[in-house]
Copies of this chain bind each other. A is one copy, B any other.
Amino acid sequence: MTTVVKGGTLVTADRSYEADILIEGEKIAAIGADLKGDKVVDASGAYVIPGGIDPHTHLEMPFMGTTTAETFESGTAAAASGGTTMIVDFVLPGPDGSLVNALRDWHRKADGRICIDVGWHVAVTGWNETIWREMAEVVKLGVNTFKHFMAYKGALMVEDDEMYASFSRCAELGALPLVHAENGDIIAELQKKFMAQGKTGPEGHAHSRPPEVEGEATNRAIMIADAAGVPLYVVHVSCEEAHEAIRRARQKGMRVWGEPLVQHLTLDEGEYFDKDWDHAARRVMSPPFRDRKHQDSLWAGLAAGSLQVVATDHCAFTTAQKRMGLKGFPSIPNGTGGLEDRLAVLWTRGVETGRLTPEEFVAVTSTNIARILNIYPRKGALVPGADADIVVWDPKLKKTIRAADQLSIIDYNVFEGVEVTAQARHTISRGTVVWSHGQNTRPSAGHGIYIPRPAFPAA
C-alpha cells in the first residue's frame, strides 16, 4: 500500500519547498510534484516536517523512591499526538549494577507497548570492570550514548575519575558521553542548609540549584571530555553559565553539543514562588527553571548554532507523587512533562516570534539530534529511503493547552493555559498515520519499534 502526503510545503533543516511525498510501506519512496498513491494525507495549507525526535525522556523509570507515572504506552501516545515520532529514553542500571540487564529490562517495559519508535541511552552510574566490559556489549546492542549524572549524590552521581574512565571508554567504543551537569556535592550541601533554615518548600529547590552550580559542572565535564579525547553532549542546558562554557569549548574547536529544554526556554523561576504548593512542586525539575536572562541566552544559542537540540526531559510524576516532598523539597520527585507539547510550544514561542526560522525549528526538534545520534537520514530527514516519520504541521491550528485535554497520564501540565498557534494535523510513524487531529484517534500501542544506532568510528 502507498500513501501520498499531498499539497503541503516541505520544511527540512536546509530548505522549504512545495512537494508531495510518496510513502511505500515504512519508507519514503519519492518526493516530487503530483505524486499518486493509494491513500492521501491532506497537507494543503500546512507544513510537512520530519517527525519530532525527543532525545530525552524518562518513562516508567524508578527514581527517588517512586516510578515515573508516564508509561511507555501513554508517553508515546502523547508524543505522537504532539508530532513526535521517536523518543530516546534513559536506561538506569538496577541494583545488580548491570548495564545489559537494565537494557533488557527497558526493552521488556517498552516492547509491544510503544506507539512510536524508541532508542536508548544507558547510564553509567559508577565504575568497575564489569561496566567497562558491558559498555562494549551495550554498543553492540545499538546504543551509542552513555549518560553520566554529576548530580544526585549518593544515588546516580559519578566522580571525576569515573567520568574520565567512562569517557575514555566511550572514545574507544565510538560512543558519545552525555552529562547531566550540576555539581551534586554543592547541591547536597545547599539542600541541607536550606532545610536547616526551614526553607522546605519548592522555592528551596530553585535556591539549592543556582545557575552557577550547573555552569561549573558543564565546564568540568567539558574539560574531562577534552582530556579523554571524546565529543560531549550536555543535556538540559538551562542557563547562560552552562551555555557559555559550551561556547568556549566550541571556540577551541571541540565538539560539544547542548540541549535546552522547551520548559527552560519558556518558563521562569517565578513558578517556584507560587503560593500553591502543588503548582510549584509540579514544576520541580533539575535544573530548575531560570529567569529571563537565561531564556534569552538559550534562544540566541539555538539561532546561532551554539546550542543544537530542544528536548523535554519528560519525567512525569503525578501530583500525588510530588507530595512525597511535602516535608521537604529534596524529596519532591524531580521531573515534569512536556513530550506532548514540545513542538507546539517551541513553534509558537520560537517561530511565530521570529527567533527561529521554520528550518531551524526542524533542525532543533529532529534533524540535529538524528545526526548527533547517528541515525540520520533514517530519522530526521525527508529524503527517499528514510523512515516515513512525517508530521503534517498545521500553522493555523490553535489551541489552549489544558491538562484535561492531554494524552499524557499525569493530572497537570506545566504549560496549562498557554495558547499555541500550531499543532500536528497528522502524525505518520514509519508510514502509518498514528494520529490525526480532531478525529479521536488514539495512537496504537505496539506500533513502535526499537531503533538501534551504530557506533561512531572509534577515536
Contact = CB atoms under 8 A, between A and B. Distances in A.
Interface of A: 13-15, 32, 159-161, 164-165, 183, 185-186, 188-190, 210, 212-213, 215-216, 219-220, 223-224, 226-227, 247, 250-253, 255, 293, 296-297, 299-301, 303-306, 355, 367, 371, 376-377, 381, 384
A227 B247 contact: no
Contact of A223 (B32, B159, B213, B299): B213
Given A14-B377, A252-B300, A183 B305 contact: no
15 contacts: A14-B376, A15-B371, A15-B376, A32-B384, A161-B185, A164-B189, A186-B223, A210-B227, A216-B220, A247-B247, A247-B304, A250-B300, A250-B303, A251-B297, A306-B306
A367 B300 contact: no
B293 A251 contact: no
Contacts of A301: 251
Copies of this chain assembled into the complex: 4
Nearest to A303: B253
Interchain residue pairs A-B with the least CB separation, the first 5: A305-B305, A160-B185, A250-B304, A216-B223, A161-B185
B213 A227 contact: yes
A220 B190 CA distance: 15
A189 to B, nearest CB: 5
A227 B189 contact: yes
Contacts of A252: 300
Contacts of A377: 14-15
Contacts of A376: 14-15
